[in-house]
Structure 1
Amino acid sequence: MKPFDILRTTACALPLASIDTDQLIPARFMKRSRADGYGQYLLHDMRFDETGEARPDFPLNAATADGAEVLVARRNFGAGSSREAAVYALADFGFRCVIASSFGDIFASNAVNNGLLPARVGEADVEEILALLQTGGTAITVDLNDCLIRLGNRTFSFTADPIWRTKLLNGWDDLDLALSLTGDIVGFEERDRGQRPWVQLEDNQS
């Protein structure tokens, strides 16, 4: 995965709470090949009407959303089913970070495993960020090194799980993280072998 450290981009405001994974990608599109990209299906039933026409008042259809890599929403983002395709749709659309006051647990874990940062901020800060995006410029900086968001002349702090932060900063998946701990694992095995020799298998045993 591509490491995530400092992201300078534009943001799209989605002032809605409890956007769930079924809304992020409706189930009927999950039969499509991931190789073709899932971005076109992101929030499909909210972005388009019954005839397939784009809803002009929906934030992701606005010209200011073109090229945005940060999505800002309200609490409980990514609730619902555990479908990882919801993260695929966000990533394939071009988003690298979602800012919200809370996230569905499984969604957040899936996000990190696909290089997408779930940046958690306080509810009051979310409201201020949304207001700034809707009344001012959309240029934003997300700094994972210092866990800071800069928008206009305002700076907001966010929280991220320390392990997830390490994975994102290095562009690691779970296997990469485990390999980074090889020295610690070998050291533990050696200490354990000396402290509890009775639980060790002989070399010729399986």
Structure 2
Amino acid sequence: MDKFTTLTGVAAPLPMVNVDTDMIIPKDYLKTIKRTGLGRGLFADMRYYEDGSENPDFVLNKPAYRTAQILVVGDNFGCGSSREHAPWALLDFGIRCIISTSFADIFYNNSFKNGILLITLDSRQHAMLMEDAARGANGTLIIDLEANDIRRFDGSVIEFDLDETRRHCLLSGLDEIGLTIEKASTIDEFEKKISQSRLWM
């Protein structure tokens, strides 16, 4: 998993509420267990017309947002089914950070496991960043995970909170397996102690 320290880029605005995982990655794209190639299907029902051509009105098809790595989204993002293909598709497209007022729990957990930073802000702060995102290339954000803050295009700063374990994993590029391996020496020491004190095991 790639480390997440500082991310600078344009944020794409998606002010819709209750965007579920079927909207993020439609069921037609769930036939694979590979994590690559799913970016093509991200928001497919909104990004493409029935004939497969692009919908120019969808935000990620607009020139300013085609390479966006940050999304500013509406409330309750990622609700619906627990499909892990949703964060896979976001990551494959290039999204590394999503900002909202709230996220669905399972989607929230799956995103962190795949190296995507999810930031929850209050409605006032969120509205400010949604306005920034609407500025296109003029609304660049800097996400600094080491400092736990977001630097806006005008130089002002918004701080955010994040669970320290999740923060450590992102900064170090660790998934749950990597986090366990990081404790390998402690685990080995524990197993050695147990085998000496419980000879019957």
TM-score scaled by structure 1? Answer: 0.87
Following the alignment from structure 1 to structure 2, what is the Cα–Cα distance between the partners of residues 68 and 79?
22
Structure 2 matches for 1:1-206, cutoff 5 A? 1-32=1-32, 34=34, 37-135=37-135, 137-153=138-154, 154-185=156-187, 201-202=198-199, 205-206=200-201
Following the alignment from structure 1 to structure 2, what is the Cα–Cα distance between the partners of residues 173 and 180?
10
Following the alignment from structure 1 to structure 2, what is the Cα–Cα distance between the partners of residues 81 and 22?
7
Aligned residues: 198
Structure 2 residue matching 1:152: 3-state secondary structure: coil
Range with greater deviation from structure 2 (118-127 or 168-177): 118-127
Instruction: Give, as a single letter, the amino acid of the residue that structure 2 aligns with 1:86.
Output: A
Contact kept? 1:47, 1:55, Cα under 8 Å = yes
Instruction: Give, as a single letter, the amino acid of the residue that structure 1 aligns with 2:107.
Output: F
Range with greater deviation from structure 2 (46-55 or 1-10): 46-55
The one-character-per-residue Cα deviations of 1:87-136 (angstroms, maximum 9, x if unpaired) are 11100111111111111111111111111111111122111111122146
Alignment RMSD (CA, Å): 2.2
Contact kept? 1:75, 1:123, Cα under 8 Å = no
Give the CA deviation at 1:188: 6.0
Contact kept? 2:17, 2:77, Cα under 8 Å = yes
Mind listing any 5+ residue stretches in structure 2 that lack a counterpart? Answer: none
Mind listing any 5+ residue stretches in structure 1 that lack a counterpart? Answer: none
Following the alignment from structure 2 to structure 1, what is the Cα–Cα distance between the partners of residues 180 and 45?
39
Instruction: Give, as a single letter, the amino acid of the residue that structure 2 aligns with 1:70.
Output: I
The structure with more radius of gyration: 1
Following the alignment from structure 2 to structure 1, what is the Cα–Cα distance between the partners of residues 80 and 147?
30
Contact kept? 1:82, 1:107, Cα under 8 Å = yes
Instruction: Give, as a single letter, the amino acid of the residue that structure 2 aligns with 1:84.
Output: E
Following the alignment from structure 2 to structure 1, what is the Cα–Cα distance between the partners of residues 110 and 78?
10
Following the alignment from structure 2 to structure 1, what is the Cα–Cα distance between the partners of residues 140 and 36?
29
Give the CA deviation at 1:162: 1.6
In structure 2, the CA distance between the partners of 1:4 and 1:36, relative to structure 1 (3 Å rule), is closer
Give the CA deviation at 1:71: 0.9
Give the CA deviation at 1:180: 2.2
Give the CA deviation at 1:68: 1.3
TM-score scaled by structure 2? Answer: 0.89
